[in-house]
Amino acid sequence: MNAITETPALPRLLSIREVAIAAGVAELTILREIKRGNLAVIRIGRRTLVHPDDWRAYLDRQTDGGPPEAAP
């Protein structure tokens, strides 16, 4: 076997458009979050990409814990 076949598969990086569609928001909203430093990105040439783990971490930070429990 050669080194390429032994290398574990890399995760597919997400485009800004894909992240926006997944979140149900405009691409501009995602770009603002990136500019504010709230969402980590990978820049390759002119492309700005989001690692799936960074996207999950961002979503986890946005979660407010759900609705409050009713008082007994």
Cα radius of gyration (the chain): 17
In a domain, 23, yes or no: yes
Q: For the domain that residue 49 is a member of, what is the CATH number?
A: 3.90.105
With contact defined as beta carbons under 8 Å apart, do 50 and 13 qualify?
Answer: yes
d(CA 14, CA 50): 5
DSSP secondary structure string for all residues of 46-72: TEEEE-HHHHHHHHHHH---SSPPPP-
pLDDT value of position 70: 57
Q: Which domain holds residue 14?
A: 9-60
pLDDT value of position 66: 60
pLDDT at 43 over 80: yes
pLDDT value of position 26: 97
In a domain, 69, yes or no: no
Domain tally, the chain: 1
pLDDT value of position 44: 95
In a domain, 27, yes or no: yes
pLDDT at 7 over 90: no
11-40 pLDDT per residue, tens: 899 999 999 999 999 999 999 999 999 999
With contact defined as beta carbons under 8 Å apart, do 12 and 48 qualify?
Answer: no
